[in-house]
Structure formats: C-alpha cells, structure tokens
Chain A
Amino acid sequence: MKKVIEVCTRIEGHAKVNIFLENQNDEISYVDFEISAYRGFENILLKKKLLDIPKIASRICGLCHVSQSIASCKAIENLYELEPSEQSVLLRRLLMIGELIKSHSMHFFFQSFPDLINIFNINNNRELLLPYKLIKDYPQITSNFFDLIKIGNEIDKIFGGRAIHSITLIPGGLVYTPSKKNTILSRRYFQKALTNLEFLIEKFIEFFSNQVPPTEYMLPNPIYLALHDQKTYDRYTGLLGIKKKNNKTVNFFGKNYSNYFDKDINLRGINFNLDENVLVGPLARNKIVENYGLDETSSYLSYFDNNWKNNILFGSFIRLIEMFAEVKKGLEILDDPLLNKKEVLPSLNSIQNSDGIGYVEAPRGILLHHYHLNRENSVDQVKLFIATEINIPLINEMITKYAQKLYEKEDINSVKKKIQMIIRSFDPCVSCATH
C-alpha cells in the first residue's frame, strides 16, 4: 500500500493527512488525519499541588485556555465539595464569552470563510488561497472580524488579568472585582460586537442561504454530545446530552461520564460504546439545545433548510449565532448588580472526595477533566477528555468517503487540497488534541 502525506495548512497547530492507496494506486483505501507530538499533560499534572494545576492546564492551549482552566478549577472544587460564588460564576462566564468570540472569529475568518468563498464560487473563480487577500476583496468583512478578535481579547484581558492564560482563574472562584470603568468599557465592547455580528450574520445569509451546500460535506448521521441546561444553550452548567439517530437524547451528570465514555490514558482516543461516530462542538450544541433563548436567532436560522442544517459547513453559521447569543448574555451579566460586589474567596481546607470531575463546553465542544487522589491526597491519575479528540473518528470517516469518491474523477493533488476543507470545517484544535 502506498502512503501519500500532506501537511495541513490553515489549521491551529501541526497536523497532516495520510492517504493510503491500493490496487496499483488506483483506489484510495482510507485517509487519516494525524496529529503527532503528544505532550503528555495527563502525566505532567500528576502529583502537582491542587492550586497549581489550573495554571499548568491552561498551557494546554492558547485558544481554549479559559475552558481548560475552568474545567480544571471545577474538578478541584469538586474534590473540596465547594461551589464558587455566583459572582465568580458570572465572571467565569464573561471570560468564556471572550474566549469564544476570539476563537470563533479566528476560525471563521482565517479558516472557513476563504474555503466557503471557494466552494460556492462567490468570488468568480478567483482563488483566495491567502486569507489576507480577503482584506482587499472584502474589506468590511475583514475589519469586522479583526474588531471581534480584538474584542474577545480585551474582554479576557479585563477579567482574566491577561488575554491568554488568565491569572484570575483559581480554584474556589475568580480573583477580581470589576471596576465601574471596566464594566462600562466591556459594555462598549459587547455593543460593538453585536453590531458587527448583525452585519456578518446578514452577510452570511446574503451569500449562502440561496446556495445548495455540496453533499460531500453532509454529516453521516453522527451521534451528538453537548452540555445543555434543560435544553437551553449553556456552556458553563447543566447536564450532558447524547443525541442518537432516533433523535432521542439521553441526559446524564458529568460525574457519571464513565457510563458513556472513557479512555485508556496509555492509548490515544476516547471510547464510546456506540455504533456511530460522535460529533461535539457548535453543531452538536445546536442539535441538542433547542433554543438560544432569543427571537433573533430563531429568525436568522429560519433562512436555512435541512440540507444546510445537516451539513458540516453550517458550523460556520452556528459560530456566528453562538457569538451573537453569548454577546447578548454578556451584556445581561454586565448589568447584574452581583458583579461589582466585593467578596472574599473561600478557603480551600478539607478535601472531601477522592475523585474530582469538572467540565465545560469549550468553543470546540465538551471538555472534561478528571483527577483522582491517592490516600495522601496527591493526584495519582488524570484523564482529560478533549473535544477535537472526540471528533477525529468522524473527521476520518468523512474525509475517507470524500477522498474515495473524488479520486474517481480527480487527481491526488486535488484530493489533498479538498479534504482539508472538510478538516478545517471541524475547526480542529491541534494544541488541545495533543495535550
């Protein structure tokens, strides 16, 4: 069997695709998306002090660092049987909103938008291989996205003490009481974000709602997994839901996750006892959450039919919708009087449980940390469940099918190029996946 290797571009981090050919190179046997350079954070975190762990875990990823630290803090709070104050939760939510705006905007602008333009031939066959060529052709869209990236960054800087690897996120709560000035500033940022998002959502509808999305990008009926709060969109708290082909959702507490999925830390990948591959992330949230709690989002979504809604390319639109819904939520939080109350954080004294489990929905999907303590209360096992790792089998299923079909009429170079568009539409986070 011959192996053709192609290094992926325009994704976060280093990854490649391996295309395996058979029958005198006439047919593609399978394709796999390979990430290497595993760093072994599950090992690094062993024996670390509990107050030290979230700071180290943050370094797993420079895009989803807030989610990593919060999942970590929650797992530690679970060990102490401690709930952070309402104020701390609001502040954590603001950090998550900042992270989502930055992460989704970067994905949309650098990765998916240029691909969408090419797939639907919007730019009259002029290839836009370099996203910064977009700046010339779509200056307004570009500046809207740059503003959003900046806004997400500033929000995290205000509430996190720095934009990446927050200083304020600690087990027990969040070190910070916002000043009036910063609340006003944040409100201005969110208002600006809302205007930009309205513009971008309308542009997306104008460009794509009348198009029929290509069938190669259709999702092959995967199983969806996401956090939700009684079917309402929530990335911080709630139950985990698994939605199967029959459209039934099974809900469970994160602490019981091992009844549904688990991992062997010596092997890569996450095991689900399920027949189909699993999807996590914005589209999975969309499938499980029935509403974003807003009239505007329902009317925006109504422009698209089921061809779109079951297509991985629709993830790009959902990212805009999620940003919109979260910015609105952010504005509500800023008006909450609890936000500016001066509070003393709890003391972490007596450990109650030997297992600590914490989870949130990161921008790319569910993120769960599980720490186990030995008798001396030292961490002796760590399991990290990371969104991109969950998506990889589905990515492989889709790129293999697409490559096989494409290779019947096009050459290997075209295959190499086009399967990357599927990969990018999943928004893989290689840093997280190589934890």
Chain B
Amino acid sequence: MKPKFLITSLTGCSGCIATIMSLDVSPQLLERSKLSYFPFMSDIKTIENIDIALIEGCVSEESQIEHLKTVRKNAKKVYALGSCAAFGGILNLSTKKDAEPISNYIEIDGIIPGCPIPANLLGNCLIRLIENKEIILSEKNLCDSCPLRGNIEHDFDYKINKLYPNPDEIVSPEENSECFLKRGILCLGPVIRDGCEHICIKKGIPCEGCMGPVSKDFTANIVNFLSLVKLSKDLKGYDGIFYRFSKPKFNW
C-alpha cells in the first residue's frame, strides 16, 4: 500500500513546499506515495485517511487552528515542515503578529527544520517516512563539524561587534579559516542544529540560525553562549538576533 500524504500550508512563504517539488527524489516520491490532499497542485478538498501530513507555515490566524485540528484528527502522523511550522519562523520578528509553532495547538510526530529545509535533509526524511521509518535529525550543534572549527579555542571570550561582515570583508573558508566569532562577527553556530551542510559559512557568511535550536530549551543555550562572548551594545539592543526563527521554548 502506498502511503497517503497530505501537504498543506498555513502562514509562510511556500519555500518549503517549493523545495519538495524540486527534490532529486521527487519523481520517486510521486511513484511511491499517493498525494491525497495538496491544494497547491490538486483540486481535492476532503481530508481523510491520511498516513503522513506535512504542514508548512506558522499559525498566525485563528481560522487556521480548525484546519490544523482536522488534519491531526485524520492523519496517522503529522510533521512540521520547515522552521515556520516548527518554531514560528521569520514572523517571530513581528511585534504585531503572532507566529506560533503548530505544536502549540496539536501534537506532532516530529519536525523537519530549516528556512528553507535543506534539500538533502528533506529528501532523506521523506524517503524514510515513505518507508515507515522515523526521521533522523542531528543532535549536534553547527560548530561540531564546521569547516572553521579547527581554530576555535574553547575559552571563547570574544568581543562581538558585527552581525555580518562588511561586503569587502567576506572571505571563503579556503582564504581565511578563522572562526567568525574570533573575527568579532556573530555566528549562531554554537546554538543552532547541524544539518544544513554549513552552506552559509562556506560562502563566508555567518549562520543566522535558520535550522533553529539544537535543544528544546533554546534560552538556556543562548544564556550559556552569551556568557562566553561579549556582545557590543549595538548588538545587544538589536531585535531578532536569536529569536529570529524561533521562540525561547517548545513543546515538541
């Protein structure tokens, strides 16, 4: 029996769903599963007997809660697709709008984080779901296997005064393999989950944290990290560094 999928979106950018459509394994997925509800490309409006539900986007409107509950009631497994659904996502930066992770309203079976979800990670997760296996996420932080790792001395105590390097200071890891923190540039690697293959860092851009927290108690990690580095006054007063994609705590 082919597993029946539902893919739906709440408040987001559709980037995670667009990622599904261009995966290398996409044709294989279409063959091995049945898409029963996917408004993006089908006219079917009924939600029933779903094996695997993938939900993109955060909850920002009351009207979305009912839809979410219908999905939960009719699906064996429900996963948060992307950082919006998992942690609230970029809308956490808003002072006017709510951006709630779906796990605040329904029980979920797991998250597949990223903004957008890294293609390899998503492909692997989807294949595992089709094979009725649990998805696997790394439990390590981004520093653990970072290409700039070699030079980190673990008694940080760095003075951090920049969110990003000025364009003329951007260098690839091959040209300069010094850790961003050592250069006085903030990188969220220490508190962020590994799994993106360090794509930003490889381009000479520090991590902005799109994969979300490596543990459920994000705040504790951040406090710990901040005790090791000295943020400039300017950065201390800047909104949305750590809670850009996520909230302090989660239910999942």
Contacts and interface: CB of A to CB of B under 8 A. Distances in A.
Interface in B72-130: 89-91, 93-97, 115-116, 118-119
B221 interface: no
A346 interface: yes
Given A52-B163, A130-B42, A162-B199, A37 B11 contact: yes
Interface in B180-211: 199-200, 202-205, 208, 210
B152 interface: no
Interface string A1-36: 000000101111110000000000000000000001
A43 interface: yes
B30 A132 contact: yes
B49 interface: no
Interface in B21-62: 21-22, 24, 26-27, 30, 35, 39-45, 60-61
A192 B102 CA distance: 41
A74 interface: no
A285 B205 CA distance: 36
A396 interface: no
A165 B205 CA distance: 13
B239 interface: yes
Contacts of A59: 13, 15, 89-90, 115
A164 B21 CA distance: 12
A36 B61 contact: yes
A345 B40 CA distance: 40
Contacts of B204: 175
A7 B42 contact: no
A39 B97 contact: yes
A176 interface: yes
A49 interface: yes
Secondary structure type dominating chain B contacts: loop
Interface string A143-156: 00010011011000
Contact of A129 (B43, B116, B208): B43
Given A62-B13, A132-B35, A347-B166, A153 B22 contact: yes
B90 A130 contact: no
A176 B171 CA distance: 10
Nearest to B22: A153
Interface stretch (A166-174, A216-224, A244-252): A166-174
B42 A63 contact: no
Interface string A103-135: 000100010000000000000000001111001
A348 B240 CA distance: 22
A131 B93 CA distance: 37
Contacts of A110: 40-41
Contact of A161 (B9, B42, B203): B203
B14 A12 contact: yes
Interface string B228-239: 000000000011
B164 interface: yes
Interface in B208-252: 208, 210, 238-240
A165 B22 contact: no
B26 A146 contact: yes
Contacts of A175: 167, 170, 203-205
A102 B23 CA distance: 13
Interface residues of A, number: 60
Contacts of A36: 61, 63
Given A37-B60, A43-B96, A164 B168 contact: no
B19 interface: yes
Contacts of A7: 39, 45
A173 B96 CA distance: 32
B136 interface: no
A14 B90 CA distance: 18
B30 A165 contact: no
A49 B26 CA distance: 38
B168 A344 contact: yes
A17 to B, nearest CB: 14
B6 interface: no
Contacts of A61: 13-15
B94 A44 contact: yes
A167 B93 contact: no
B15 A65 contact: yes
Given A47-B239, A162-B199, A10 B163 contact: no
Contact of B13 (A49, A65, A102, A349): A65
Contact of A165 (B15, B42, B95, B96): B15
B145 to A, nearest CB: 18
B16 interface: yes
A425 to B, nearest CB: 16
A214 interface: no
Contacts of B27: 146
A431 interface: yes
A149 B17 CA distance: 13
Nearest to A51: B164
A55 interface: yes
Given A47-B239, A164-B15, A129 B42 contact: yes
A349 B11 CA distance: 36
A141 interface: no
B54 to A, nearest CB: 15
A102 B97 CA distance: 31
A60 interface: yes
Nearest to B27: A146
B185 to A, nearest CB: 11
Interface of A: 7, 9-14, 36-37, 39-40, 43-44, 47-49, 51-52, 55-56, 59-63, 65, 102, 106, 110, 129-132, 135, 146, 149-150, 152-153, 161-165, 167-168, 170-173, 175-176, 344-349, 431, 434
18 contacts: A7-B39, A10-B42, A14-B9, A40-B97, A44-B91, A47-B239, A55-B208, A63-B15, A65-B15, A106-B18, A130-B43, A161-B199, A161-B202, A164-B19, A176-B203, A345-B170, A347-B166, A431-B12
Interface of B: 9, 11-19, 21-22, 24, 26-27, 30, 35, 39-45, 60-61, 63-64, 89-91, 93-97, 115-116, 118-119, 163-164, 166-170, 199-200, 202-205, 208, 210, 238-240
